[in-house]
Amino acid sequence: MEQSKKECILHAATKAFARFGFKKASVEEIAKEAGVAKGTVYLACDTKEDLFYQAVHREVRAWCAEIARLIDPRQPADQLLQQCAIAGLAYLNERPLVRELLFGSYHLMLPEWVDRLEGLRELGRTNTVEILRLGVKQGVFHDDLDLDEVAKILQDVALSTYVLHNRGAQREERLQRRMATAFRLLMEGLRRRKTGA
């Protein structure tokens, strides 16, 4: 299958799944939107589930690429983490497939795909791991951190902030303030530094 035709199908699938959800989106509508026959859609994927996975994977890769553009190794890693987290949360407003993946909605809907979906969530943390490595190299972060676990924790903090504070007036300012406070807390901890001892 030509790559351009497959891209067209994945684009149509992404729109349909984002608009109607996995269960209500139909392969017929996706084919119609892509301007291909229904059978042609199945040349691009094995099943509707596979088409859905490919559409979500495409969206996660696009999200990662968007955030990767913000990573400037000349900036302090702690500042990069905060900037990328805020940009990543803003992106979720526009990309419901990525948002629902990160929230775990698809894990319940497609239990037989859990391992593959977890792989996509891990892909979504690659930029965070890269920034953490940069921070270790810069001397900003401890060099004995389990970077993958720290990336998971940071993702959890960002997602819980999004879930609990992404509504109402001034939500963007509130999200930014909340994320800045969360990152400061994670970076500095709660303990006061002892002076003069």
Instruction: State the CATH number of the domain containing residue 23.
Output: 1.10.10.60
Largest CA distance in the chain: 76
Angle at 62 between CA 8 and CA 113, to 5 degrees: 80
Residue 197 lies in a domain: no
Q: Are 178 and 167 in contact (CB under 8 A)?
A: no
CA–CA dist 171, 174 (Å, integer)? 5
Residue 78 CB partners (closer than 8 Å, separation 6+): 135, 140, 141, 183, 187
pLDDT of amino acid 39: 94
Q: Each residue of 147-165: b (16+ CB within 10 Å) or e?
A: beebbbebbebbbebbeee
pLDDT of amino acid 196: 60
Q: What is the CATH number of the domain that holds 149?
A: 1.10.357.10
Give yes or no: residues 159 and 183 share one domain. yes
pLDDT of amino acid 177: 84
The yes-or-no verdict on residue 192 having pLDDT over 80 is no
CA–CA dist 96, 80 (Å, integer)? 24
pLDDT of amino acid 193: 65
Q: Are 143 and 135 in contact (CB under 8 A)?
A: no
Q: What is the mean pLDDT of residues 142-167?
A: 88
Give yes or no: residues 32 and 62 share one domain. no
**pLDDT tens, residue by residue, 33-91:** 999 999 999 999 999 999 999 999 999 999 999 999 999 999 999 999 989 988 988 88
Residue 147 lies in a domain: yes
Q: Are 27 and 38 in contact (CB under 8 A)?
A: yes
Residue 134 lies in a domain: yes
Give yes or no: residues 27 and 86 share one domain. no
Rg (CA), the chain: 20
Give yes or no: residues 92 and 145 share one domain. yes
pLDDT of amino acid 106: 94
Residue 101: domain span: 56-188
Give yes or no: residues 31 and 60 share one domain. no
Model confidence at 191, pLDDT cuts 50, 70, 90, reads low
Give yes or no: residues 170 and 82 share one domain. yes
Residue 51 lies in a domain: no
| Start-end of H helices in the chain | 3-24, 27-34, 38-44, 48-68, 77-94, 96-103, 105-109, 114-123, 126-138, 147-165, 171-188
The yes-or-no verdict on residue 158 having pLDDT over 60 is yes
Give yes or no: residues 40 and 61 share one domain. no
Give yes or no: residues 40 and 70 share one domain. no
Q: What is the mean pLDDT of residues 132-160?
A: 92
pLDDT of amino acid 182: 84
Instruction: Tell me which residue has tokens 């799944």.
Output: 17
> How many domains, in total, are found in the chain?
2
Give yes or no: residues 36 and 85 share one domain. no
Q: What is the mean pLDDT of residues 171-197?
A: 76
Residue 196 lies in a domain: no
- Residue 26 is encoded by which pair of tokens? 């139909």
Residue 104 lies in a domain: yes
Residue of 192, 172, 168 lying closest to 180 (CA atoms): 172
Give yes or no: residues 171 and 104 share one domain. yes
**pTM of the complete model:** 0.87
Chain mean pLDDT for the chain = 90
Give yes or no: residues 157 and 76 share one domain. yes
Residue 41 lies in a domain: yes
pLDDT of amino acid 174: 82
Give yes or no: residues 28 and 97 share one domain. no
Residue 178 lies in a domain: yes
Q: Each residue of 6-27: b (16+ CB within 10 Å) or e?
A: bebbbebbbbbbbeeebeebeb
**pLDDT tens, residue by residue, 83-113:** 998 898 888 888 999 999 999 999 999 999 9
